[in-house]
Structure 1
Amino acid sequence: MKLVQRENGFSIVVNDKEIIEHSIENPCIYVGKGKGTYDMFRGNFKVKDYICEKIGLNDFEISVENSRVIVTFSNKGLNAIKVLFIEEDGRTVVKFLENPDNFNRFWLRLKAEKEEHIYGCGEQFSDFDLRGKNYPLWTSEQGVGRNKNTYTTFMAESMDQAGGDYYTTFFPEPTFISTRKYYCHINNSAYMDFDFSHENFHELQIWDMPEEIIFETGETYLDLVGKLTALLGRQPELPEWVYKGVWLGIQGGTEVALKKLENVVEKGVKVSGIWAQDWEGIRMTSFGKRLMWNWVWDKKLYPGLQEEIKKLRERGIRVLGYINPYVAIEGSLFKEASEKGYLAKNKEGKDYLVEFGEFYAGVVDFTIPRACVWYKEVIKKEMIEFGLSGWMADFGEYLPTDVVLNNGVSAEIMHNAWPAMWAQINREAIEEAGKLDDVTFFMRAGGTGSQKYSTMMWAGDQNVDWSLDDGLASVIPAALSLGMTGCGLHHSDIGGYTTLFEMKRTKELFIRWAEMAAFTPVMRTHEGNRPEANWQFDSDDETIYHFAKMSMVYTNLAPYTKELVKENSNKGIPVQRPLFMHYENDERSYSIKYEYLYGRDILVAPVYEPGKTKWNVYLPEDKWVHLWTGKEYSGGDIEVSVPLGQPAVFYRKESEHVELFKKIGEVKHMGF
């Protein structure tokens, strides 16, 4: 880090990259005061801010002590803010030391270049390159449709405030990577808004005094994500059993689950798990089938499940369940938590009840150490000891801003921190049980800290349709952006989840989604919120045969996938990667968001439109081989045939895994 002084200003330069530029005419820091309002309905937030003042801190005084640079910013001698610039562990760290006027709005401007690209900010579904827009960072429901110009989003917004927008996400994070080869991370959980729409600067707005802002550079993008994950943490490798086949999302009880399992196994589907999210019971609402939210085995719905788990394990098939950080008021766990004082309170000191769609639940207060111990014991006893090998650790983004927490910190600040705290509960329960190499969980909500606690992310509740913002295509930039934020293990509900306003999952959509899922770390189905309205993996034999083929592709690819997962665990390099991560000189690759590299050697271009028999693909300059035909390409724009069961997938001719890829390309199935 270098401080370069000029007559009317200064710059902070990190490894020859000018990151911060300040002058009297164009200050890098603004401060102010504001009052935010948060209108929440079932996890969907309308956030507004009333800004009382915004002051540019033009004036500055610099003092240098060894490698410590302290700058006192002010405006005409008033409103002074003292900021420390320092190197720590090879990183440039900005620390705000003094805020005597108690400002609660801060704007930091970073130097930008016109041709610069920006990636990250957590999980972004509509965009991969974030340049040109602003991105509010607040964990919430991702929204239905997420495009204000569509009928679906209009209806969802009108009925339940649930339409969402291009930036709404379960997993926001104040972290991004620039093509200037640096990352920026803000260590704070307040509401933020990162604005990348200006030509000469990026403006980062924070609704709190930042604890610290961290910058680090890298020679390559592989180097850069490695350094970022060294800071934020890395995910562990997945248990060995995961790679043996798909996870079948099945609901309805023991008999239904076993019958569906045997039907598809007989037809060649490779199965490693049954994911029975209703293991603890169901409730029916106008939205569709929901769960009971009392994390105890429902013996009536799943009679004999404990014994069946043992039998299935002997066959190499595991059973997975579901849990979230709330307890429904009808259940025994709510009563126990309430009596012990483990639930968050309202302003009157009573248990805070959150409405989740025609039922209510209490919020387990993770700022109470004893409550954390209690909830981990629930997971260890009712799930791990019971025999479950994994689960969906759902929600985490609903924490209301008017809830009163035991630690006394405002829920406005704790809201974005909550998903990572929820991840920590799950991770520690597994580690305390000594099962990290055998039990896993997957989450949709996240934030800073999820990298080191969450064992796997999933993309949340996509629509069962072809929409770019909320359908099959949207999970591709979601995976890529999370990878650039430090979470390199990602997957999605095959076929999507949300069925509303007459939309229905079609046979073609399910098959195309399964094709893509074969080239992700985990293949998992979901019945959706209205199973009877949607095409399922066993709706007809042809679907089962297609599904069987893709499950074979997935299992045959396991040696390669395991290497990628290990690389993510050791180096922080994501499994699904943007093209430019390995082709930095290819300018075109920086704007591609609907293709990805699966590791170094496979390129996947999922078919995300209906009725397609041909598909246009861009290949960076290299020697590529079409997986299904063996035809060779050298790069550029090409068109390939994409019959069902043969997605647009290519491998590098010079890969050390060529023989494995050839065998995968030859995968057939008796149903074809």
Structure 2
Amino acid sequence: MQLVETDGGFDLILAGRAMLRQRSDAPCLYVGRGAPRVEMYHGHFDIEDNVEERVGLRYAALTRVSDGSARIALSIAPALPPLVTLTLSGGAQDARIHIDAIDPTLNRLWLRVVADKGEHVWGGGEQLSYFDMRGRRFPLWTSEPGVGRDKSTLLTFQSDQKGKAGGDYYKTNYPQPTYLSSRRYALHIDTTAYSAFDFRQEGWHELEIWAAPATIELWARDAFTDLVTALSDRFGRQPPLPDWVLKGAIIGLKDGATSFDRLEKYAASGAALSGLWCEDWVGLRITSFGSRLFWDWKWNATRYPDLDTKIKELHDRGIRFLGYVNPYLCVDGSFFPEAEAAGYLAKKLESDETYTVDFGEFDCGVVDFTNPAAAAWFAERVIGQNMLDFGLSGWMADFGEYLPTDVRLHDGTPGMLAHNAWPVLWAEVNARAVESRGRTGEALFFMRAGYSGVQRHCPLLWAGDQSVDFSRHDGIGTVITAALSSGLLGNAYHHSDIGGYTSLFGNVRTPELIMRWSEMAAFTAVMRGHEGNRPRENVQIDEDEQVLAHFARMTRLYAHMAPYLRALSDEAVATGLPVQRPLFLHFPDDPATYALQESYLYGADLLVAPVIQPGVDRWSTYLPAGTDWVEVWTGNLHVGGRAVTVDAPLGKPPLFYRQGSAWTELFTGIAAVI
């Protein structure tokens, strides 16, 4: 790290990369005051900021310290006292900038980071619409992503009109104020406050933070892979994938006791099976949105008679049983009065009355995880006793993004600062429960919500509730973008609902969609189905013989790839590298790979280009320069550094492996599995 004083300012340089440039006529830091307006409706947030003041800090006074750090006092004018101090520390490749507001009423910061023309940036948590974030602004606030997520479509318009649920390109369950740059550095804002990345300017990136102080962390590396490892070191590593998961697909059914009979149809089809996931193990509640669960986290013996016996029978066959839980308790359930009596639920701001949230025709209490006793109670009483001890091997740990901003929490954290942190607390509760039973790396829970640090607790992400279609901003293709963006930030394992989830306003999934989604899912960390929010209105895998046969072949392909996936999992444990990787991660000298988001590397040696449009049987994709590529289905050799168009009938998604790969025998065996 170098701090170079200039006439009227300074330059901060990290490993030869200009990071900050301060001049009296072009300050790098602006401060101010703002008052937000926040409205939440079923997990969708309408947020506006009334910026009362914004001023540039044009004058800098530097003080160097003997340990190599520096302190910079920033003010509006030379004769005025400083408003902010920057404390800079670090080494040759890493740096920290701690920002302190001397005036405690300052609650807005805008920091400008040097940018280059043609630069690319990635990250921002789990982004769904745009992998390369350059040219757009991204607010970072965990929320429902919305339905359709494209204001020009009828589906988004209808969703906005009915329930303010249309969403937009930047909305995500899992934001994170971290990005990587094609200039080969990474930046993280260490804050839980509402923040935003603005990548629309040619000469700088502007970071907006609704709080002070904050800390900016920087890493510079020559290799993108080393940057990913550095971020994984910072945020935490996931344990290895459980061995049982690699045996095949997790079948998602929510059909009560009938689910076991339907599972047998999957088995008879020749599908490779690893688990049965029944989110309705707790019972159902029927709403206008569709079939919802009864949010009281224990076995519903009426809907699933003899479930305890069934779980053991499945286990003896090598099939695990998975369930569902989330961090809220319905007011008409048994756990709500227990938690309320113990003081474990969040309160209203102005009274000791329990805060309840409307989740769409039913209300729930919010378990206050800032209260250590409440977190311990949920981990032991709910997850430990009622789930792990009962026999569950995993579950969907849903939600986490609904914390209202007007709640009173046990530790006094304001809602605006607690909201983004909530998914991480929720992940920690689940991880502690698993650890308490000695089952870390063996029991598997998966989450959609996240924020900085969720990596060290959550063993598996899923991409949330996609629409049951091929749409650009909310369909099948968005899960590739989600895996790539989150994977760069240390989330090694990612997967999605095969066939999508959200079916509204006559939008229903087709057999083609399920088959194409199955082809993609075979080359992800976990292969799992879902019946969706309206099961009876949408085609299910086991209801169509062609779809079932196709799905069974894809599950066998997933199982065939298990040795490779195990090696990728071991690599993730050692280095933090994700299973699904952007092409530039291993081809950094090919800039044509920097903006690609419709294909990915499965590990370092296999390129997957899923068909994500309907009605096509040929598909084009780019093959990175620097190696030749072998097409799996034909054995044809393709020169890297150009786009190719290949046949892509159902059952044969475009797959290419590096010529000379150590895994050539496994890859050439794919065709025999199909």
Fold-level similarity (TM above 0.5): yes
Note the 1:455-534 alignment, pairs <5 A: 455-534=459-538
1:10 aligned partner: 10
Write out per-residue CA displacement over residues 479-516 of structure 1, whole angstroms, 9 at most, x where no aligned residue: 10001222121000000000001100100000000000
Write out per-residue CA displacement over residues 419-452 of structure 1, whole angstroms, 9 at most, x where no aligned residue: 0110000011101110113201000000011111
Find out whether 1:565 has 2:566 as its counterpart: no
1:646 aligned partner: 652
Deviation at 1:234, TM superposition (A): 1.2
Whether the 8 Å CA contact 2:8–2:60 is kept in 1: the answer is no
**3-state secondary structure, aligned to 1:426:** helix
Whether the 8 Å CA contact 2:32–2:54 is kept in 1: the answer is yes
**3-state secondary structure, aligned to 1:633:** strand
Question: What is the CA–CA distance in structure 1 between the aligned matches of 2:55 and 2:318, rounded to whole Å?
Answer: 63
1:114 aligned partner: 117
Question: What is the CA–CA distance in structure 2 between the aligned matches of 1:249 and 1:608, rounded to whole Å?
Answer: 22
Question: What is the CA–CA distance in structure 1 between the aligned matches of 2:136 and 2:81, rounded to whole Å?
Answer: 33
Question: What is the CA–CA distance in structure 2 between the aligned matches of 1:526 and 1:210, rounded to whole Å?
Answer: 43
Deviation at 1:79, TM superposition (A): 5.1
Percent identity for Structure 1 against Structure 2: 46
Question: What is the CA–CA distance in structure 1 between the aligned matches of 2:503 and 2:576, rounded to whole Å?
Answer: 35
**3-state secondary structure, aligned to 1:472:** coil
Question: What is the CA–CA distance in structure 2 between the aligned matches of 1:168 and 1:502, rounded to whole Å?
Answer: 23
Whether the 8 Å CA contact 2:368–2:409 is kept in 1: the answer is yes
2:157 aligned partner: 154
Choose from 416, 419, 424 the match for 1:415.
Answer: 419
Note the 1:267-286 alignment, pairs <5 A: 267-286=269-288
Whether the 8 Å CA contact 2:32–2:52 is kept in 1: the answer is yes
Whether the 8 Å CA contact 1:628–1:666 is kept in 2: the answer is no
Query: Which one-letter code corresponds to 1:280 in the other structure?
Result: V
Deviation at 1:97, TM superposition (A): 3.4
Whether the 8 Å CA contact 2:93–2:221 is kept in 1: the answer is no
Question: What is the CA–CA distance in structure 1 between the aligned matches of 2:120 and 2:643, rounded to whole Å?
Answer: 22
Query: Which one-letter code corresponds to 1:350 in the other structure?
Result: E
**3-state secondary structure, aligned to 1:48:** strand
Question: What is the CA–CA distance in structure 1 between the aligned matches of 2:276 and 2:104, rounded to whole Å?
Answer: 57
**3-state secondary structure, aligned to 1:591:** coil
Whether the 8 Å CA contact 1:83–1:98 is kept in 2: the answer is no
Query: Which one-letter code corresponds to 2:636 in the other structure?
Result: K
Query: Which one-letter code corresponds to 2:74 in the other structure?
Result: F
Write out per-residue CA displacement over residues 62-109 of structure 1, whole angstroms, 9 at most, x where no aligned residue: 000121100000002145211100117962001123422420000011
Answer with 419-428 or 658-667: which moved more: 658-667
Deviation at 1:653, TM superposition (A): 1.7
1:376 aligned partner: 379
1:223 aligned partner: 226
1:240 aligned partner: 243
Find out whether 1:212 has 2:215 as its counterpart: yes
Write out per-residue CA displacement over residues 237-266 of structure 1, whole angstroms, 9 at most, x where no aligned residue: 111100011000011212x11111111111
Deviation at 1:453, TM superposition (A): 0.7
Choose from 354, 359, 366 the match for 1:363.
Answer: 366
Whether the 8 Å CA contact 2:24–2:59 is kept in 1: the answer is yes
Query: Which one-letter code corresponds to 1:478 in the other structure?
Result: A
Write out per-residue CA displacement over residues 346-387 of structure 1, whole angstroms, 9 at most, x where no aligned residue: 122211000001101000000111001100011010000000
Deviation at 1:51, TM superposition (A): 0.5
Choose from 288, 306, 309 the match for 1:307.
Answer: 309
Choose from 664, 669, 673 the match for 1:663.
Answer: 669
Deviation at 1:665, TM superposition (A): 2.1
Whether the 8 Å CA contact 1:354–1:362 is kept in 2: the answer is yes
Choose from 288, 295, 298 the match for 2:297.
Answer: 295
Choose from 260, 263, 282 the match for 1:261.
Answer: 263
Whether the 8 Å CA contact 1:549–1:667 is kept in 2: the answer is yes
RMSD of Structure 2 on Structure 1 (CA): 1.0
Query: Which one-letter code corresponds to 2:556 in the other structure?
Result: M
Whether the 8 Å CA contact 2:347–2:409 is kept in 1: the answer is yes
**3-state secondary structure, aligned to 1:551:** helix
1:47 aligned partner: 47
Write out per-residue CA displacement over residues 510-530 of structure 1, whole angstroms, 9 at most, x where no aligned residue: 000000000001000000000
1:89–1:278 CA distance, 2 compared to 1 (3 A): farther
Structure 1 unmatched runs, 5+: none
Whether the 8 Å CA contact 2:15–2:92 is kept in 1: the answer is no
Write out per-residue CA displacement over residues 577-608 of structure 1, whole angstroms, 9 at most, x where no aligned residue: 11111111112111111110000011011101
**3-state secondary structure, aligned to 1:424:** helix
Whether the 8 Å CA contact 2:14–2:93 is kept in 1: the answer is no
Query: Which one-letter code corresponds to 2:253 in the other structure?
Result: I
Find out whether 1:628 has 2:633 as its counterpart: yes
Question: What is the CA–CA distance in structure 1 between the aligned matches of 2:514 and 2:469, rounded to whole Å?
Answer: 9
Question: What is the CA–CA distance in structure 2 between the aligned matches of 1:106 and 1:654, rounded to whole Å?
Answer: 51
Question: What is the CA–CA distance in structure 2 between the aligned matches of 1:600 and 1:147, rounded to whole Å?
Answer: 33
Question: What is the CA–CA distance in structure 2 between the aligned matches of 1:78 and 1:140, rounded to whole Å?
Answer: 40
**3-state secondary structure, aligned to 2:280:** coil
Query: Which one-letter code corresponds to 1:600 in the other structure?
Result: A
Whether the 8 Å CA contact 2:101–2:212 is kept in 1: the answer is no
Question: What is the CA–CA distance in structure 1 between the aligned matches of 2:158 and 2:213, rounded to whole Å?
Answer: 38
Question: What is the CA–CA distance in structure 2 between the aligned matches of 1:401 and 1:447, rounded to whole Å?
Answer: 16
Write out per-residue CA displacement over residues 549-601 of structure 1, whole angstroms, 9 at most, x where no aligned residue: 10010000000011112211220111111111111111211111111000001
2:456 aligned partner: 452
Query: Which one-letter code corresponds to 2:137 in the other structure?
Result: N
Note the 1:610-629 alignment, pairs <5 A: 610-621=614-625, 622-629=627-634
Whether the 8 Å CA contact 1:79–1:101 is kept in 2: the answer is no
Structure 2 unmatched runs, 5+: none
Question: What is the CA–CA distance in structure 1 between the aligned matches of 2:398 and 2:431, rounded to whole Å?
Answer: 14
Deviation at 1:210, TM superposition (A): 3.6
1:399 aligned partner: 403
2:543 aligned partner: 539
Write out per-residue CA displacement over residues 319-363 of structure 1, whole angstroms, 9 at most, x where no aligned residue: 000000000011110010011110000122211000001101000
1:602 aligned partner: 606
Deviation at 1:667, TM superposition (A): 1.3
Query: Which one-letter code corresponds to 1:623 in the other structure?
Result: D
Whether the 8 Å CA contact 2:114–2:204 is kept in 1: the answer is yes
Question: What is the CA–CA distance in structure 2 between the aligned matches of 1:271 and 1:458, rounded to whole Å?
Answer: 19
1:387 aligned partner: 391
Query: Which one-letter code corresponds to 1:624 in the other structure?
Result: W
Whether the 8 Å CA contact 1:627–1:651 is kept in 2: the answer is yes
Query: Which one-letter code corresponds to 1:550 in the other structure?
Result: M
Whether the 8 Å CA contact 1:309–1:318 is kept in 2: the answer is yes
Query: Which one-letter code corresponds to 2:635 in the other structure?
Result: G
Whether the 8 Å CA contact 2:238–2:573 is kept in 1: the answer is yes
Question: What is the CA–CA distance in structure 2 between the aligned matches of 1:37 and 1:447, rounded to whole Å?
Answer: 22
Question: What is the CA–CA distance in structure 2 between the aligned matches of 1:617 and 1:380, rounded to whole Å?
Answer: 47
Question: What is the CA–CA distance in structure 2 between the aligned matches of 1:80 and 1:613, rounded to whole Å?
Answer: 62
Query: Which one-letter code corresponds to 1:145 in the other structure?
Result: G
**3-state secondary structure, aligned to 1:260:** helix
**3-state secondary structure, aligned to 2:429:** helix
Question: What is the CA–CA distance in structure 2 between the aligned matches of 1:3 and 1:82, rounded to whole Å?
Answer: 15
TM-score, normalised to structure 2's length?
0.98
Question: What is the CA–CA distance in structure 1 between the aligned matches of 2:542 and 2:102, rounded to whole Å?
Answer: 61
